[in-house]
Amino acid sequence: MSMLELIAVTTSFLAIWLTARRAMLCWPINLVACALYFKLFLDVRLYADMALQALFALGIAYGWVVWARGKRDSGDVVVVPLSRGQACAGLLAGAVAALAIGWFTSHYTNAALPWIDATLSSFSLVAQYWTARRHAANWLLWITVDIAYVGMFMVKALWLTTGLYAAMIVLAVLGYRRWRQAPQMQRSI
């Protein structure tokens, strides 16, 4: 455990909690969390997750804009349903990216856990995109990914990060319930 990990965990927890509440402040806080985890993952040789943080930064900028445009006059961020076609396309993209990144990192880097790291990173990008697009289903994918991340971070002895991801599972369940209760979702399901 390092001071960097402690700060990254605290910042990430706050960012996810704000996302579950559909608060616009989640985006700048998520950006800071990405920068902190970029450095931490570099230090422990989880390169796919390190690169993921850089891609998350781009996704955060995108999500910030989409959410700013997708608010009601009251300031509430509108939740949008995810179609089966969009879900299948996203999951297929995640699988293809996982194979490509896993192959690359297993052959050309000294990555500690290239295949699981690549898989979790790829599906995290799909979940991040779904979050930016305001789909409640993002939380279901986050729950699945975060469960696997708990195991990976235990293997790497990143105990605070393991605890964060365990807490993020709980936050994702709460976020899913909260987003599903949004009036616009109830009409569209």
pLDDT tens-digit series, residues 25-34: 999 999 999 9
Res 171 pLDDT > 90: yes
Please report which helix (H) or strand (E) contains residue 71, including its range.
none
With contact defined as beta carbons under 8 Å apart, do 137 and 130 qualify? yes
Q: Which residue has the tokens 């936050």?
A: 171
User: Band of the pLDDT at 189, cuts 50, 70, 90?
Assistant: very low
- The three-state secondary structure class of 77 is strand
d(CA 131, CA 52): 15
What's the pLDDT tens digit per position in 77-95?
A: 788 899 999 999 999 999 9
Q: Which helix (H) or strand (E) holds 115?
A: helix 114-132
- pTM value > 0.85: no
pLDDT band per the 50, 70, 90 thresholds, residue 73:
low
- Whether pLDDT at 186 is above 50: no
Instruction: Average the pLDDT over 163-172 and give the result.
Output: 94
Query: CA 57, 11, 90: angle at the middle one, nearest 5?
Result: 40
